[in-house]
A and B are shown apart, each in its own frame.
Chain A
Amino acid sequence: MSCEPHWLARIDAALVGEHGGALYAEARAHAEGCAACAATWRAACGHLAALERRPGRLPEAVEAAVLGRVLDALSASGDLAPAPNAEVVPVPAKVTAPSPPSSRRRAGAVGSMVGAAAVASITFIALRTPPETAHPGPSEGFQARGGETPRAGFQVFCVEPRGASGEPVVRSSGASGLAAPLQCDASGRLQFTYSVPQDLAQAGDTAVHLFATGPEGQVVWYWPRAGQVTPVEAGGRNVPLPGSFDVGALHGAGRWRITGVFSYTLGDRETLDALARSGGEAAVAAWAARSGAPVEGAGLWMDIDPTARRTGGAE
């Protein structure tokens, strides 16, 4: 009883958390129909449970995959809260406006996991309080758990021209910054919004920086654009950054981490790029912190499937 060797590697990668979304679903679907790989899958689950000191439980990566599928299906069926002010995000001219979630079928959404190419969960690096500014309490900004702390933050949207049902789909990372996975096809385009409570911004020179780090340390920049800086609108909530970014064209295969940083310094891309390549998000966060902007971790994970269809084009 055996199977092609590459499936073994793909099953291992899925079960250790290297493959999310479509790649996980593909490996899982293969194992369902292949006796050898099903046995491999079951045995690996037991072995990883032993390593993770969780006897009898599914591997962490499997539990994460289940959560992703559940939230994706509920979101597609309109069973979840809509992303706050998601409607303010302008859809790029090349992309048809999304239809309401209720028009998508739950079963279709579950099935679309096989075709989905990217999975991401967002948290963010954000300002908490400006220098020498007393905390004023809840305001227009994002609320931390417990509703006490206004927070600045980012939200990421993946706009797919055609979802599994053939209709356009807009998926959102959610504003909470927690681990809810974002599904995004490689043919999709990424868009970003930011929120900065009025009392957390430093007038005139608060800037936003967004970039992604690839599995081999490669860096893709979203904002600022080359030769520019990207100041933010103080007090803005869910303010869309103009333009969008082709998921498939800009990102190679593997797991990417999207990081967002606010600073009180208008950093240029060249300076920040050097920091990101040498020290990753920690170096950029440290740079932002030196500007006086308190920061808190972390970033957004995204898996890119190189086999998914691509629409071509860049930012």
Chain B
Amino acid sequence: MTFFRGQPELVERFRAGDTSVLTEVYLAYIGPLQNVLRQGFAVQADARSFHIAGIADPMEVEAACQEVFMRAFKSSARQAYDPARSYANYLFRIARNWRIDAFRKRRPEVSFDAAPVLGAEVEDEAPLVEARMIDAEVEALVADYLAGLPARDRDYFQGRLFGGRTQTEAAAALGLTRIQGRRIEARVKTGLLAWLRAHGHSPAVSRAGRPEEEVE
């Protein structure tokens, strides 16, 4: 991704800590960062390769995203960023270093000094067949739920989900204010959660996050 390319003024505002630019950076990279955190990566130390496992638990992913962006958005990290280079790589390196730090604390016997990160080429394990079946069932139930919504609510979500519109845009397309769109969105989402629970998708049968682990 080339967020800052050809935009020196944007880089200046980023380094100065302009919250509107930080917000844009966050929105641009929060998705890719989650992929990196979930995927895990390989690292070499003491002539051995280690796999730092990905994070699957959404609560841990949330905490990890917060930690990584806290580090990446600190003034010292903003000043250290070289705009000639990819910000994605810069951010992901921060994420990997943070994960390595955590690993190092649990494996003090392994020397990670100047350990090269081999990249994220180590794939996370494939989801279990059971989990894939549950995912497919949830998707089918979500489709059923959306089909049963009142026309206005369904149209709003069509705009949001398939039209790539913001809340304001999706609401405006239906002649609604953003606050009305927001209410629709909250109501529909809350209804979906109740719908799925009513159809047997309680937490006990839903796909749980795999525990974090490090494997050599």
A residues apposed to B, CB below 8 Å: 1, 12-13, 15-18, 28, 31-32, 36, 38-48, 50-58, 62-63, 65-67, 69-71, 73-75, 79-81, 145, 147, 174, 176-180, 213, 255, 257, 280-282, 297-299
Contact status of A66 and B206, CB under 8 A, knowing A16-B189, A47-B201, A280-B177: no
- A62 & B58 in contact (Cβ 8 Å cutoff): yes
- CB-defined contacts of A32 to chain B, threshold 8 Å: 59
Bound Cα distance A41, B66 (Å): 17
- A46 & B138 in contact (Cβ 8 Å cutoff): yes
- CB-defined contacts of B188 to chain A, threshold 8 Å: 51
Bound Cα distance A273, B158 (Å): 34
Does B101 sit at the interface, judged by CB under 8 A? no
- A80 & B177 in contact (Cβ 8 Å cutoff): no
Shortest beta-carbon distance from B110 to chain A in Å: 29
Q: Which of B17, B35, B73, B203 has the most CB of A within 10 A?
A: B203
- A70 & B73 in contact (Cβ 8 Å cutoff): yes
Shortest beta-carbon distance from A191 to chain B in Å: 19
Contact status of A178 and B20, CB under 8 A, knowing A39-B208, A58-B34, A257-B179: yes
- CB-defined contacts of B16 to chain A, threshold 8 Å: 81
Closest 3 CB pairs of A and B: A39-B203, A176-B20, A180-B19
- CB-defined contacts of B201 to chain A, threshold 8 Å: 43, 47
Does B65 sit at the interface, judged by CB under 8 A? yes
- B203 & A51 in contact (Cβ 8 Å cutoff): no
- CB-defined contacts of A43 to chain B, threshold 8 Å: 201-203, 206-207
Shortest beta-carbon distance from B98 to chain A in Å: 14
Shortest beta-carbon distance from B9 to chain A in Å: 6
- B59 & A42 in contact (Cβ 8 Å cutoff): yes
Within 8 Å by CB of A81, from B18, B57, B69, lies B18
- CB-defined contacts of A55 to chain B, threshold 8 Å: 135
Does B213 sit at the interface, judged by CB under 8 A? no
Instruction: Known A-B contacts: A41-B59, A42-B209. Give 9 more (CB < 8 A).
Output: A17-B185, A45-B58, A47-B142, A50-B139, A50-B142, A58-B58, A66-B65, A67-B30, A79-B75
- CB-defined contacts of B194 to chain A, threshold 8 Å: 12
Contact status of A69 and B66, CB under 8 A, knowing A31-B59, A47-B201, A74-B73: yes
- B58 & A178 in contact (Cβ 8 Å cutoff): no
Closest B residue by C-beta to A1: B204
- CB-defined contacts of B168 to chain A, threshold 8 Å: 297-298
- A74 & B23 in contact (Cβ 8 Å cutoff): no
Closest B residue by C-beta to A71: B19
Q: Return 22 A-B CB contacts under 8 Å, by A number.
A: A18-B190, A32-B59, A36-B203, A46-B207, A47-B138, A47-B192, A48-B193, A50-B139, A51-B189, A56-B35, A67-B27, A67-B69, A70-B66, A73-B70, A79-B74, A79-B75, A81-B19, A177-B20, A178-B24, A179-B20, A255-B182, A257-B179
State the total of A-B contacts with C-beta under 8 angstroms: 163
**Cβ < 8 Å to A, chain B residues 106-121:** none
- B34 & A176 in contact (Cβ 8 Å cutoff): no
- B18 & A176 in contact (Cβ 8 Å cutoff): yes
Bound Cα distance A135, B131 (Å): 59
Closest B residue by C-beta to A62: B62
Contact status of A80 and B23, CB under 8 A, knowing A51-B189, A58-B62, A280-B177: no
Closest B residue by C-beta to A13: B190
Bound Cα distance A217, B117 (Å): 54
Question: Interface code B125-164, partner A: CB below 8 Å = 1, 0 otherwise?
Answer: 0000000000100110010001000000000000001100
- B20 & A42 in contact (Cβ 8 Å cutoff): no
- A178 & B66 in contact (Cβ 8 Å cutoff): no
- A12 & B190 in contact (Cβ 8 Å cutoff): yes
**Cβ < 8 Å to A, chain B residues 171-216:** 177-179, 182, 185-186, 188-190, 192-194, 196, 201-204, 206-209
Contact status of A63 and B192, CB under 8 A, knowing A17-B185, A56-B35: no
- CB-defined contacts of A178 to chain B, threshold 8 Å: 19-20, 23-24
Closest A residue by C-beta to B164: A53
Shortest beta-carbon distance from B31 to chain A in Å: 6
- CB-defined contacts of A174 to chain B, threshold 8 Å: 19-20
- A51 & B59 in contact (Cβ 8 Å cutoff): no
- CB-defined contacts of B34 to chain A, threshold 8 Å: 56-58
Bound Cα distance A4, B162 (Å): 36
Question: Interface code B26-47, partner A: CB below 8 Å = 1, 0 otherwise?
Answer: 1100110011001000000000
Bound Cα distance A255, B187 (Å): 14
Contact status of A48 and B30, CB under 8 A, knowing A81-B19, A147-B9: no
- CB-defined contacts of B208 to chain A, threshold 8 Å: 39, 42
